[in-house]
Structure 1
Amino acid sequence: MHKLNISLIGVPMDLGQTRRGVDMGPSAIRYAGVVERLEAIGHKVIDEGDIQIGVSERELTEDTHFRNLTAVTEASTKLANKVHDVIEQHHFPLVLGGDHSIAIGTLAGLADHYENLGVIWYDAHADLNTGDTSPSGNIHGMPLAVSIGLGHEKLVNIRDYAPKVKPENIVIIGARSVDPGERELIKEKGIKVYTMHEVDREGMTDVIQDAIIYLKGRNVDGVHLSLDLDGIDPLYTPGVGTPVPGGITYRESHLAMEILQDSGLITSAEFVEVNPILDEKNKTADVAVALMGSLFGEKLV
């Protein structure tokens, strides 16, 4: 297995939604032993520390319906610049959240290094809302829309280019809570989605292998994995802000990570929405670290 220089970037962000505690996610994941786990596999891990999130007033700007727009934009820009620098050093960026709004910054930092970036969005939610369709104004439900060029101009134009990714280069896996506006956008843009119906009917092996074939057919030159812990059934990951019953199992998720490792496609990753306040004895962070082990080549024998 190819040994990597992995740059670990923490993003203690909780401004993309309204439930407190998810800003402690990076610390919980570190406490669960992520560095030791990846080093035991043989990778070199450089902990880059945390992106500094400004302490600002939580605001809902009535004319845009984006909660904490200024603070999220500033944090996303910092993260984008950091991810960009890590790629310049030929390191593998591994980003720890924080709420899923951080993907705006991650993808902004990645995409100008690739001609045709692919994205696997492992999540219960599509995260394709805009200010016009979001029921809540929470930006953690918008990062995928922002990354395809839809949303507030401050978010869309981070690092001065848009879009970050083509809609046809996105694969969503595990969706089971999709808003009406998101459904319309999925159909309009032709975004590939494997809902829990497909996972149940076809099995995780076929779903992941089909996703890999699909992305290879798009001639992607890199694939970013964005894994929201609420993609997994809350039986296994209770410490998330927006749990949705009936999700992917723990073992199915390990299998998915193992197949992705074997494919050699994944060039960056982020694990998000670990909320220790809602968790049980750091169970969700432990799951995140275990899945990272499988993604980065951990073997039983």
Structure 2
Amino acid sequence: MANNTVTNTNATDTALDMSVWAGRTDPEPNSERWHQKIQPLSQTAAPGCALLGFESDAGVARNQGRIGAAKGPAALRKALAPLAWHRTGPAYDAGNVRCEGDALEAAQQKLADQLSALLEAEHFPIVLGGGHEVAYGSWLGLAQHLANKGERAPRIGIINFDAHFDLRDPSHVRSSGTPFTQIADQCAQRGWPFRYACLGVSRAANTRALFHRAAELGVMIREDRDFQPAYLERIQRDLERFMVRCDHLYLSIDLDVLPTGEAPGVSAPAARGVSLSLLEPLIEIIRDSGKLRLADLAELNPDHDIDSRTARTAARLVFQLSQ
């Protein structure tokens, strides 16, 4: 297919740069911050939280969005560096996978291979995007890991906080708008169940065709207008019922689910969005379920960020997920 032609077939690992982990050092005891505690990943590292960047704009460019998300991993690390350290286990920087040019498929496979290795080493990976094309590589890494363990039909629950379904037809072009259709197709080929919850969907930003496809695939849908304090407990119960039917969870957070005031630096800013105060309790439930194997954050675009608001919000989300 012409629109999927790869013009540059390279997917590379960029050199690990720990200099981004910098900030203030306080003299009081127990005053460490992330920049003081995070370590470069080694092959002998004890299991911990492993941050892996995905430097890619290719999927956003194919989806005709505003590019710049390839710079997201560096901006997120910079925002995370000064945050207070409250973890009891170690955290590691595992470097970046870089998509060169339009070589999206090669980069997604490279990401999958690295994630599979991290999971094999019993780390909890958090992928720092990058466009939401990261989702296909993330899921593929978890799928490879579970297949290597001999799980024949694992029930992987995908929880996506997003203003968009990202269920567009990949037969035309594979992009940041197609990863969950690609995952559904992979599940069908493997004979695995497809379990997908999309929370924060904007009806104004998704066509009737996409809502129809979501219904056909049995997607759990909660629209952005459903996210009100009075309804939060109901959404929590719905989410818990979804998780009970899953063996493993993969969490994807597209930062465009947030209001523009909280996350201006994304590919497609939300006209309404779901506030961080409503997302955090749900993320904590997912984190504490005992089933979360992998998480990623997508669409941080520093070129359009204001006062690093989006980067700071993303850093807080990584902070919450890593506790």
User: Would the TM-score normalized by the shorter structure come out above 0.5?
Assistant: yes
1:86 match:
118
Select the residue among 159, 162, 179 that pairs with 1:120.
159
d(CA) in 1 for partners of 2:277 and 2:192? 30
CA distance 1:38–1:171, shift in 2 (3 Å): farther
CA contact (8 A) 1:208 1:260 kept: no
Please state how far the C-alpha of 1:37 moved relative to its aligned partner.
4.3
1:97 match:
129
Please state how far the C-alpha of 1:262 moved relative to its aligned partner.
3.3
Please, which moves more after superposition, 89-98 or 195-204? 195-204
Please state how far the C-alpha of 1:281 moved relative to its aligned partner.
1.9
CA contact (8 A) 2:116 2:141 kept: yes
Select the residue among 171, 181, 184 that pairs with 1:148.
184
- Secondary structure of 2:135's match? helix
CA distance 1:17–1:291, shift in 2 (3 Å): same
TM-score computed with the length of structure 1 as normaliser: 0.81
Q: Deviations over 1:153-172 (max 9, x none)?
A: xxx59xxx9459633x1111
Q: How many residues align?
A: 265
The share of aligned pairs that are identical, in percent, is 28
Please, which moves more after superposition, 111-120 or 235-244? 111-120
1:6 match:
49
Select the residue among 218, 223, 235 that pairs with 1:195.
223
- Structure 2 unaligned spans of 5+: 1-45, 147-153
d(CA) in 2 for partners of 1:189 and 1:46? 37
CA contact (8 A) 1:237 1:284 kept: yes
d(CA) in 1 for partners of 2:79 and 2:91? 15
CA contact (8 A) 2:224 2:274 kept: yes
CA distance 1:207–1:162, shift in 2 (3 Å): same
- Structure 1 unaligned spans of 5+: 57-67, 150-155
CA contact (8 A) 2:250 2:292 kept: yes
2:199 match:
173
2:261 match:
235
- Secondary structure of 2:126's match? strand
1:65 match:
none
2:249 match:
223
Please, which moves more after superposition, 75-84 or 16-25? 16-25
d(CA) in 2 for partners of 1:125 and 1:261? 22
1:129 match:
168
TM-score computed with the length of structure 2 as normaliser: 0.76
d(CA) in 1 for partners of 2:192 and 2:263? 29
d(CA) in 2 for partners of 1:38 and 1:44? 14
Q: Deviations over 1:30-74 (max 9, x none)?
A: 00025x6485322311111001322x3xxxxxxxxxxx4xx1101
CA distance 1:129–1:258, shift in 2 (3 Å): same
2:91 match:
45
